[in-house]
Amino acid sequence: MSDARPAMRPDPRTLLASAELARAFTLTVFAATFGAPAIRGAAGDVTYATILAALCLLGGAMLVTRRREIEVLHLAPTTLVLLVLWAGASVLWSTDALRSIAGWAALLGVSFLGVVVGHVRDAHQSVRALGDVLRWLLAASLVLEVLSGILWDTPIPFLGIQGDIAELGPVQGLFGSRNDLGVVTVVALLTFLVEWRTRSVRPATAVSSVILAALLAVLSGSPTVIVVAAATALAAAALTSVRALPARRRRAVQIGLGLALVVLSALAWAQRFAIASALNGRADLSLRTDLWGEILRLSDDRPVVGFGWFGPWDPADAPFSTLNFTLGQQHASALNAFLDVLLQLGWVGLLVFLVLCALALARSWLVAGERRSVVHTWAPLTLVVLLTVSVFESSVLSGAGLLLLVLCAVRAGQSRSWRERLERVPEPPDGPARTQGGRESAG
């Protein structure tokens, strides 16, 4: 009996490398980041930070255990590494070094979690885990809104729920604001539809999930949802057309789509006031443009390096207190991810961020156009959602938005990378060329 006991003792390395732990880890990461507003409201920032730190430690242990499967060079996209390093370096010239360190730690932690998920789960598994988490969070949001607005008839302040569902909204659910709920519903709709097309869940589950997300999107009353949904629908139609073309014609069509995107973006910016008026968002856009103009003016004081990385603003700290005092308002972000990066990391940081987003979108779009499985369309269309939202919100720079951006960038880099060309060995006479390690890179 004494000899049998050691043999029955579980091996920690086996557990850390197991598919079961990888699935549980991915579900927990999605639940923690998407449920961050509820966690912070119910238990405080320290609890949320502790959860992220514990997940990072576990994720690091999982990567170490799987180190033979993962090369350090292929761990994360180069542009993501540069962005995180530049944000860390900004502590040296920040207006508040301690808060910058805290903001950088949050950026590093969430980015690391996205990298881990990208390596321990494949595309199907990631989409499936995200669908499960969003189903539960949206269902819980609807239940709490009904309890607050109809049965109890009282708000739930620590969750940010106002209890206005009886008046058909706007509702916030577990996500803190109607705009954040609206964005989550669009991501959820996309995820649920991909699940449906890939038959990852039963048809009844898929249909009920889509109805739930659509209902909460309407109840959120967010004008941002309309713009994001329209942009995503156009991108989905274009991608579907590309996927239906013969391979020899795709290149020309892809170039044409790229040029069309530039033209449409320019036209949309030129007609932004007319679009906002049509969406009943003129006053909201005026507030944003006033803020954006002041950010551009203030950025001229430190155009190259910015004021240091903080992530979400503390309105009482410089330079954000200066902006809020000048405008007579209380903003917690630039309401535009690109201008937020410009203010905090300067033109250097903005350039790196733009390259990160552009490469992730281009790579994932090309992969989705070439591969037959519908699951590959999830990454480029999710990036379209995130980048469209980034024009109106800064949510892509932290929490769930940052996690999805990193995950999509890692996914895209695993299939297409400049490192593949550097590492490709000459083709032998009797077979195709192979890359080092026989795997795709993540850069």
Top pLDDT among 279 and 248 is at 248
List residues bridging with 161 in a β-sheet.
156
Name the residue range of residue 375's domain: 223-416
- 411 Cβ contact partners less than 8 Å away, ≥ 6 residues apart: 118, 123, 126, 364, 379
- Residue 74 inside a domain? The answer is no
- Residue 299 inside a domain? The answer is yes
Report the alpha-carbon distance of residue 230 to residue 178 in Å, rounded.
18
Phi/psi-derived region of residue 221, left when phi > 0, alpha when psi is between -120 and 50, beta in every other case: left
Number of domains in the chain: 1
- Residue 242 inside a domain? The answer is yes
User: For the residues of 214-264, what is the DSSP string, one character each?
Assistant: HHHHHHHT-HHHHHHHHHHHHHHHHHHHHHHS-HHHHHHHHHHHHHHHHHH
Report the alpha-carbon distance of residue 135 to residue 129 in Å, rounded.
10
Report the alpha-carbon distance of residue 90 to residue 104 in Å, rounded.
9
Residue 272 pLDDT class (50, 70, 90 cuts): low
Q: What angle is formed at CA 356 by the lines to CA 351 and CA 362, rounded to 5 degrees?
A: 120
Identity of the amino acid at 60: G
- Based on its alpha-carbon atoms, the radius of gyration of the chain, rounded to whole angstroms, reads 23
Q: Does residue 374 carry a pLDDT above 60?
A: yes
pLDDT digits (tens, 9 = 90+) for 137-170: 999 999 999 998 888 888 888 888 888 888 887 8
List residues bridging with 156 in a β-sheet.
161
- Residue 139 inside a domain? The answer is no
- Residue 234 inside a domain? The answer is yes
Identity of the amino acid at 238: A
Q: Quote the pLDDT of residue 335.
A: 87
Of 384, 306, 286, 319, whose CA–CA distance to 349 is shortest?
306
* Mean pLDDT of all residues belonging to the chain: 84
Top pLDDT among 422 and 394 is at 394
Residue 156: strand, helix, or coil = strand
Residue 114 pLDDT class (50, 70, 90 cuts): very high
Instruction: Say if residues 70 and 60 touch (Cβ distance below 8 Å).
Output: no
- Residue 14 inside a domain? The answer is no
Residue 161: strand, helix, or coil = strand
Residue 119 pLDDT class (50, 70, 90 cuts): very high
- Residue 335 inside a domain? The answer is yes
C-alpha distances in Å from residue 376, one per residue of 96, 359, 370, 425? 42, 16, 9, 27
- 147 Cβ contact partners less than 8 Å away, ≥ 6 residues apart: none
- Residue 217 inside a domain? The answer is no
Structure tokens at 392: 């109106």
Q: Percentage of the chain with pLDDT > 70?
A: 87
